[in-house]
Amino acid sequence: MCGIAGIWQRDGRPIERLTIDRFIRALAHRGPDGQGVLVDDGGSLALAHRRLAILDLSTAAEQPMRSQSGRYEITYNGEVYNFLELRSDLEAAGCRFRTETDTEVVLAAYERWGPDCQLRFNGMWSFAIWDRHDRRLVVARDRFGVKPLYVLVEPRRFAFASELKAFVHLEGFEPVANQLALQARLADNFGEHLLLCGIEVVPPGHWLEVTPETVDRHRWWNTLDHLIKVPRELSAQAEEFRHLLTDACRLRLRSDVRLGTSLSGGLDSSSVLSAIATAHRTRHDARRTAPEWQRAFIASFPGCPQDETEYALLVARTTGAVPLVQSLTGRDFRPDIDAYLSQFEEIGGLFGAAAWMMYREMRRDGTFVSLDGHGSDELLGGYDVHILLALMRGRGIVFEPYRALDLINTLHGMVDRAPASKAMLAAMTVPAFRHAARRLPLAQLLSEMLLRDARVWPDSAEPAARDEQREIDKLGPLTGSLYRSFHRHLLPRILRNFDVHSMGHGVEVRMPFMDWRVVRYAFSVPETSKVGGGYSKRLLREAMRGSLPDSIRLRRQKVGYNVPVAQWLSDGLQDWLWDELNDREFLHSELWDGPALLASARAKREAGTAWHPAEAHKVALAATAHWWQTRWVRLSRASAGRVARGSAADVGQLSSARPCSDRPGTPR
């Protein structure tokens, strides 16, 4: 796990060493264990790497790395967990290796199989491979976009990096705010547009072929093409799923450094820790297993509904893990808020502060890898909004009465643990149910986002996109919503957020639920195996039968891994918020009603009343958007260190007034 960056002056102009040094140094937090730079193609191409040493801690594993033949060079971010099996296959074909890292295996696999080698990989990655013989650069991203990869495509230059903040340091690039992106964020739409004009993201499951003349985009993965037949009985499905999850954890235990888990006490992280314990106990293949895995890091929010410490401690005792509980408060977070927002490089309120703080504790503890439970909710129906969408798109109470009542009962159990009532029968038409949804204490912001993003492709969309949409719809009302959430909207945002939260402290996050075998299995099972019998994530609950205490396995209430923003804005972050809201630029912004937000904050301050969660979300979005507009570029540059002349005082502010202009050279 590392940070990667590169520049290719496709017109042959040489790159100054200071330019690439400044570009990669912005990612030093992602790789605190070393830096490497390759300059080639007559000085017009530079590949750079910041190293986080996880596999093969020797200097032999440093990057950029050259292939045996000398034809290819790679800079690579990620982990291919089945590298030992791939290495054996390649050795049988005559390959020889000089390191013990997965990087060399990835490079040898590419040399033998080309970009199709990715179909053999089980892991997460973004990489760039330079073919000096054909003067071709290939940049690629894993199936589901676990690892980020941003690109800048200009007529004479191509550049890429692991984070947006690197481009702030790129010579000749002017960081201009994307007004459409700012407006979308404030409307709780995080799936469209990047915040910097001119920067694009390589889509998951794609690779770009860059030559001196062209930049072409190729899709190498589509989950719809890899669905499989599964047993009809739920018990048999659960047994297969349990085996897949355990094996996914076994592979992700491969590490030459200590690893741990981020344990919330919810079903997902608890299942991961249980599967890790099972994988370690059975040890069918213990090669390169981490020297230690038992440390469970638990975030505690004293006196808040989000606090699940008692459940997390129960899971730790059951699995034999060592619990490390960290109490988090707004007062604890206040000194770090600028560092957090600078590293986050996005707009989204303050919900992710808990993850950011806990990964920092891991790093301080000497734990450099964390196995987390991300992806399960989007695979198996963990959010109430997915069940709501299934009800709205299903055949209804008349044609499918048992299914509709089952979904209603499940929804009530997640929201307030109450059984379904006869009054809900009147809400089964789509308009009435939408009205009921507004009255339920649901994640309304998430609901609106998914409802908007799940719309049918417009007539102007490409035929292939419309065909894919129809295939997704065939999966069913629930699975179709989950598929869109997993691949297009909600999960990509979560993956991006947790990448920057963890890598901001030099910690690698591994996600067993994102194993491609687990993903295709989850999308292949029937909808009743995902949500049914009054339970969300039914398949996982059945798979964990006998491994987790029922108080964890059968708990229906959903608690998000978010900080209690409403409480923190009233206790700990009150003065920070007050300063932001009183700033002149905030009060005069056209993106929000600054005077109204300030008046609301003043009223609460004077009366000593707390923020309502919905109000807190709205004001935190505006405050963090204002912070991003006025300070993000300056602090991003300062955090990377000055390697050129001048000081932080010379750094200009981000222009938020100029619209984006169309840039030529967009990948086809």
CB distance 602 to 657 below 8 Å: no
Mean pLDDT over residues 197-203, rounded? 96
List, in order, residues 6 or more apart from 481 with CB less than 8 Å away: 386, 389, 390, 393, 450, 454
Mean pLDDT over residues 153-160, rounded? 97
Output the pLDDT for position 395: 84
Residue 548 DSSP SS3 = strand
Residue 664's Cβ-side half-sphere holds a number of Cα atoms within 13 Å equal to: 5
Calculated CA dihedral for residues 586, 588, 591, 597, nearest 10 degrees = 60
Q: Let me know whether 442 and 529 are in one domain.
A: no
The domain in which residue 607 lies consists of: 565-650
Q: Let me know whether 462 and 496 are in one domain.
A: no
Last residue of a domain, one of 221, 246, 261: 221
* CA–CA gap between residue 63 and residue 450 (Å, rounded): 40
CA angle, corner 139, sides to 157 and 5, nearest 5? 60
Question: How many residues appear in the chain?
Answer: 668
Output the pLDDT for position 639: 61
Residue 337 placed within a domain: yes
Residue 207 placed within a domain: yes
CB distance 538 to 588 below 8 Å: no
Q: Let me know whether 229 and 289 are in one domain.
A: yes
Domain of 540, CATH number, reads: 3.40.50.620
275-321 pLDDT, tens digit per residue, is: 999 998 887 677 899 999 999 999 999 888 888 999 999 999 999 99
CB distance 651 to 631 below 8 Å: no
Output the pLDDT for position 637: 66
The share of the chain scoring above pLDDT 70, in percent, equals 88
Q: Let me know whether 439 and 306 are in one domain.
A: no
Output the pLDDT for position 209: 98
Give the pTM.
Answer: 0.91
Q: Token pair for residue 143?
A: 């199936």
Mean pLDDT over residues 584-601, rounded? 96
Residue 397 placed within a domain: yes
* CA–CA gap between residue 201 and residue 151 (Å, rounded): 6
- Helix (H) / strand (E) element for 321: namely none
Q: Let me know whether 213 and 259 are in one domain.
A: no
Mean pLDDT over residues 96-112, rounded? 97
The CA-atom distances, in angstroms, between 299 and each of 262, 551, 555, 567 are: 8, 19, 19, 16
The Cβ of residue 56 has, within 10 Å, a number of other Cβ atoms equal to 17
* Phi, psi (degrees; rounded to nearest 5) at 366: 85, 15
Q: Let me know whether 48 and 150 are in one domain.
A: yes
Peptide bond into 526 cis (omega under 30): no
Count up the domains in the chain and report the number.
4
Mean pLDDT over residues 425-444, rounded? 41
Q: Let me know whether 194 and 237 are in one domain.
A: no
Which position has the token pair 């059968």?
A: 554
Q: Which residues are registered as beta bridge partners of 104?
A: none
Output the pLDDT for position 19: 95
- Helix (H) / strand (E) element for 83: namely helix 83-92
List, in order, residues 6 or more apart from 315 with CB less than 8 Å away: 263, 265, 270, 273, 274, 296, 321, 548, 549, 552
Q: Let me know whether 586 and 438 are in one domain.
A: no
In the chain, the N- to C-terminal Cα span, in Å, equals: 29
Instruction: Report whether pLDDT(626) > 90.
Output: yes
Q: Let me know whether 531 and 576 are in one domain.
A: no
Q: Let me know whether 511 and 605 are in one domain.
A: no
Q: Which residues are registered as beta bridge partners of 37?
A: 48
Q: How confident is the model at residue 648 (pLDDT cuts 50, 70, 90)?
A: very low
Instruction: Report whether pLDDT(642) > 70.
Output: no
Greatest pairwise CA separation for the chain in angstroms: 76
Output the pLDDT for position 461: 63
| Average pLDDT across the chain, whole number | 88
- Alpha carbon of residue 243 to chain centroid: 25
513-533 pLDDT, tens digit per residue, is: 999 999 999 999 999 999 999
* CA–CA gap between residue 208 and residue 668 (Å, rounded): 9
Domain of 159, CATH number, reads: 3.60.20.10
Of 338, 375, 341, 333, nearest to 358 (Cα)?
A: 333
How many separate helices (H) and strands (E) can be counted in the chain? 28, 17
Residue 60 placed within a domain: yes
Residue 666 placed within a domain: no
Q: How confident is the model at residue 164 (pLDDT cuts 50, 70, 90)?
A: very high
R_g of the chain, CA atoms, integer Å = 25
Residue 656 placed within a domain: no
Instruction: Report whether pLDDT(654) > 70.
Output: no
Q: Let me know whether 294 and 249 are in one domain.
A: yes
Q: Let me know whether 232 and 216 are in one domain.
A: no
Last residue of a domain, one of 221, 248, 267: 221
Residue 282 DSSP SS3 = helix
- Alpha carbon of residue 357 to chain centroid: 17
Residue 295 placed within a domain: yes
* CA–CA gap between residue 294 and residue 316 (Å, rounded): 9
Of 358, 349, 344, nearest to 300 (Cα)?
A: 358
Residue 98 DSSP SS3 = coil
Residue 390 placed within a domain: yes
Mean pLDDT over residues 148-168, rounded? 97
Output the pLDDT for position 21: 96
Last residue of a domain, one of 187, 221, 255: 221
Of 252, 166, 188, nearest to 510 (Cα)?
A: 252
411-432 pLDDT, tens digit per residue, is: 888 875 433 333 443 344 334 3
